[in-house]
Structure 1
Amino acid sequence: MIGQQAIMDAYLCLLHLTAGILVESLFNAFATAAFFKFVVFSIFEMRYLLAIWKASRPLNSGEGWEIMRRELSVLYSRFYGILLGGILLMYELHNFLRPLLFLMYSFWIPQIVTNVIRDTRKPLHPQYILGMTATRVAIPLYIFGCPSNFMRIEPDKKWCIAVTAFMGIQAAVLLLQHYLGSRCFIPRQILPEKYCYHRKVEDSTNQPIDCVICMTTIDLSQRTSEYMVAPCEHIFHSGCLQRWMDIKMECPTCRRSLP
């Protein structure tokens, strides 16, 4: 999802530069916008993409720098390959620009699918979802909806309504996943069995168990909602592990992946 948005910002950077060349009186304004778009996709979004890539990789202390460098090269090659391929595709299929843009504005769908597959807990903030949806849809609405747009493109109200509704549905699904759960709209009959973190632990040794996150003792005599048991049998306070899982889905003790 972040990669798709970075590609969109790269296209918008090129669009602003092209518009500045075509409309000389507005060159400074479009060049400034293009510069900020370039900064956004080349620095901030790429760094965010790298952070996600790093967090999703399994921890392997014996891994050499050559392997990491090779994987980074593949990541950058894919990004810029898709970027250049998209430019060529839009050039060859310029008569089908609207369907291509419609496809491009499905960037929330990979996040929705990922949430369902991984049962992600509140992956995106609602303000981010609404803000990105509104700002992303503003430019195509101006180009294809404003009768006096500088590109002199004939307005297409039906397409504008369709893309707005499409983006609105995607944002609504993400908000439902945020408030009701990632799989709230999936029938329970077809869902895979979900691992239960809140299960009873029998303490036969009577020795205190410490939470390695907050370094305080866990009272196993309390309700099971007060502590969580990972598949690797390590035990943590519920609040501690939930905050940890918001950052990284791996056991704080043994680094095994968490479901």
Structure 2
Amino acid sequence: MNTLTLVQLRGFLSQMRHHEEEHASVTKLSVVGIAMQALMDAFDSFLHLSVAAPVQALNTYNFAVVSMLKFSLFALVEVRYLLLIWRHHHQHVFAEGWETVRQELSRVYAQFYGALIGGLVFIFVASDYLDIVALVMQAYWLPQIIHDVRHGSKNSFTRRFVITITVTRTLEFLYLWGCPAGIFNGDIYPQLPGAQSLELCAAALCLQAAQVAVMLSQQRLGPRWFVPWICLPDVYNYRRTAQAVAGSECVICMLEITPEDGFHIVTTPCDHRFHDSCLERWMDVKMECPTCRRNLPPM
């Protein structure tokens, strides 16, 4: 658990550094998705303390270290990341003055820590269903998938971050509910509800695999590729007229746009044409036309 938590810390710090160095848009990220992961680590921190506190054993120190690392992960890294995303989603609030910012931040903190306290109370009251609660919490990528579909954004997280977080959180779940020689066997530490369940572990693996597959496919095929057109909101079609004009060039890469480019040509609402990959990289930084500076809808 110490090793997995350190890997998660490194993963989050690398992802945050990616946004700073690559100037990637933080508005692509889901506040709910990051908050859900922060709550998971907060629950882990408090549950490790609650399990180890009444037991006078040699490995109580190890539980305390795990709890400290998990607390550092959620309180110092994930909550900071959460506030960074929230700030970019609510730029208009900062234009209304400090009093409005203070009120909105107080509301965000109240909602987050209210969910934390309420979740802890629910876990202790419904401890017999901890296995179901843990399985539901494994759907922490779902808010990001929905956010990408609604806003037409992709490449929200790096592939390395998605794989790292998924693997570490899945290994933790598989140990707790799948390892036959785990320490939560009822001898010293209490046995977990539904522990040593192959069906539960298989469900967690299938859930994680499905989420990662959808997120990676969104990066390659587009954020809404699996949503029927009839279910989509009124979105702009960048490939409405993909005909290349002789002598035109992509002002982003400064290369000529030729008829051979075919499907890789996109047209903005202001009738300017670019290579799709060029415009996607541009829109990761600015949601405006490189030629006329008009605001652009998501691709």
The whole-number CA distance in structure 2 between the counterparts of 1:60 and 1:250 is 22
Aligned length: 246
Partner of 2:147: 114
State the SS of the aligned residue for 2:58. helix
Residue in structure 2 matching 1:155, options 177, 189, 196:
196
Residue in structure 2 matching 1:195, options 229, 236, 246:
236
Deviations, residues 133-174 of structure 1 (Å, cap 9, x unaligned): 111111221111112211213411211111111111111111
The 3 A distance-change label for structure 1 pair 61 and 254 is farther
Partner of 2:60: 27
The whole-number CA distance in structure 1 between the counterparts of 2:96 and 2:136 is 38
8 Å Cα contact 1:228/1:235 also seen in 2? yes
Larger deviation, residues 5-14 vs 178-187: 178-187
The whole-number CA distance in structure 2 between the counterparts of 1:60 and 1:249 is 20
Structure 1-normalised TM-score? 0.79
State the SS of the aligned residue for 1:29. helix
Partner of 2:12: none
Residue 180 (structure 1) aligned with residue 180 (structure 2): no
The whole-number CA distance in structure 2 between the counterparts of 1:50 and 1:113 is 20
Cα distance, 1:220 vs structure 2: 11
Residue 171 (structure 1) aligned with residue 204 (structure 2): no
State the SS of the aligned residue for 1:8. helix
8 Å Cα contact 2:94/2:100 also seen in 1? no
Residue 99 (structure 1) aligned with residue 140 (structure 2): no
The 3 A distance-change label for structure 1 pair 57 and 235 is farther
8 Å Cα contact 1:228/1:241 also seen in 2? no
Structure 1's unaligned 5+ residue stretches are 201-210
8 Å Cα contact 1:218/1:236 also seen in 2? no
Residue 40 (structure 1) aligned with residue 110 (structure 2): no
State the SS of the aligned residue for 1:136. helix
Larger deviation, residues 59-68 vs 46-55: 59-68
Residue 9 (structure 1) aligned with residue 50 (structure 2): no
Partner of 1:207: none
The 3 A distance-change label for structure 1 pair 117 and 17 is same
8 Å Cα contact 2:48/2:64 also seen in 1? yes
8 Å Cα contact 1:10/1:41 also seen in 2? yes
Structure 2-normalised TM-score? 0.69
- Describe how 1:52-131 pairs up with structure 2 within 5 A: 52-59=85-92, 62-131=95-164
The whole-number CA distance in structure 2 between the counterparts of 1:131 and 1:32 is 21
Partner of 2:245: none
The whole-number CA distance in structure 1 between the counterparts of 2:209 and 2:254 is 47
Aligned AA (1:156): S
Cα distance, 1:86 vs structure 2: 0.6
Larger deviation, residues 133-142 vs 66-75: 133-142
RMSD, aligned CA = 3.4
Partner of 1:245: 283
State the SS of the aligned residue for 1:25. coil
Aligned AA (1:143): L
Q: Which has the higher contact order (CA 8 A, sep 6+)?
A: 2
Deviations, residues 116-148 of structure 1 (Å, cap 9, x unaligned): 111112212222212111111112211111122
State the SS of the aligned residue for 2:59. helix
The 3 A distance-change label for structure 1 pair 235 and 96 is same
8 Å Cα contact 1:59/1:255 also seen in 2? no
8 Å Cα contact 1:19/1:27 also seen in 2? no
8 Å Cα contact 2:162/2:212 also seen in 1? yes
> Percent identical across equivalent pairs?
33
Deviations, residues 31-80 of structure 1 (Å, cap 9, x unaligned): 22221211111111111111111111244664110101111111111110
The whole-number CA distance in structure 2 between the counterparts of 1:48 and 1:102 is 24
